[in-house]
Chain A
């Protein structure tokens, strides 16, 4: 089954001085930061006073 993205090439890497990281890893880290900030700022649905969480 074909991949959604064409994977038949060398991976893309960001290399700047000592810093070297694959683009896919950078994308994941940026996404985590975006979700983290959104989790702090986004309003939580109200109307339910109880509920578990860890």
Chain B
């Protein structure tokens, strides 16, 4: 078999990716009319908050603890980072409530629901490791208290909250990378399946999806 006749893995990945997410679905310019509701806005608000978190966190990491503790502009970016996290969880919880009461796993969207839920769960330690990465007495107090909680829960042998280097690398690399990767997967799945319709609209998944006949795909409106 010549090289030209072989099916390369890059072609297979491309065909699969374009089949699952053709450009008009990946970068859609129209949404169903039922999307014109405030409850559909909280997902994109979560994304916006995450962007501010990543940006402000990057600036804090560049400048270091002396800057964020002892300069006015450092305090400002420290506050931006804290309050964007507060906002992220605020809007993400409302997004979660909205999707829960809409039963957003209908129409073959269970992977969308699962990735969103896992993102929420991973985002919690991502935020909490920030408290122990502050480099102040507050962080010392929190880490000693949290250490006891982790030990009591039986998971204290896997990581050490008193180990600043470990917690800081969790906070600025491992957990944010996991959150961002999960969010990218979540958004791509939303693009693939489309946003979940209200209960009075027949449930369908998008025609181009490969798993359109998944559980709930034919579920009638209730």
Hey, which chain A residues are within 8 Å of B42, CB to CB? 39
Interface string of B116-158 (1 = CB under 8 A from A): 0000000000000000000000000000000000000000000
The reply to whether A50 and B195 contact each other, CB–CB distance below 8 Å, is no
Instruction: Give the interface size bracket for A toward B.
Output: 10 to 19
Chain A nearest CB: distance from B178 CB in Å?
19
Hey, which chain B residues are within 8 Å of A50, CB to CB? 29-31
The reply to whether B75 and A1 contact each other, CB–CB distance below 8 Å, is yes
The reply to whether B90 and A32 contact each other, CB–CB distance below 8 Å, is yes
Hey, which chain A residues are within 8 Å of B33, CB to CB? 49
Who on chain B is nearest to A48 by CB? B36
Count B interface residues, CB 8 Å. Answer: 28
The reply to whether B44 and A53 contact each other, CB–CB distance below 8 Å, is yes
Who on chain B is nearest to A46 by CB? B36
Interface string of A1-30 (1 = CB under 8 A from B): 100000000000000000000000000100
Hey, which chain A residues are within 8 Å of B35, CB to CB? 51, 53
Q: Given A35-B94, A53-B44, A54-B190, A40–B39 Cβ distance below 8 Å?
A: yes
Who on chain A is nearest to B41 by CB? A53
The reply to whether A52 and B90 contact each other, CB–CB distance below 8 Å, is no
Q: Jot down 28 A-B pairs with beta carbons below 8 A, ordered by A.
A: A1-B72, A1-B75, A31-B90, A32-B90, A32-B93, A32-B94, A32-B97, A35-B90, A36-B94, A36-B97, A36-B98, A38-B38, A39-B42, A39-B94, A40-B39, A40-B98, A42-B38, A44-B36, A44-B38, A49-B30, A50-B29, A50-B31, A51-B35, A51-B36, A53-B31, A53-B44, A54-B40, A54-B47
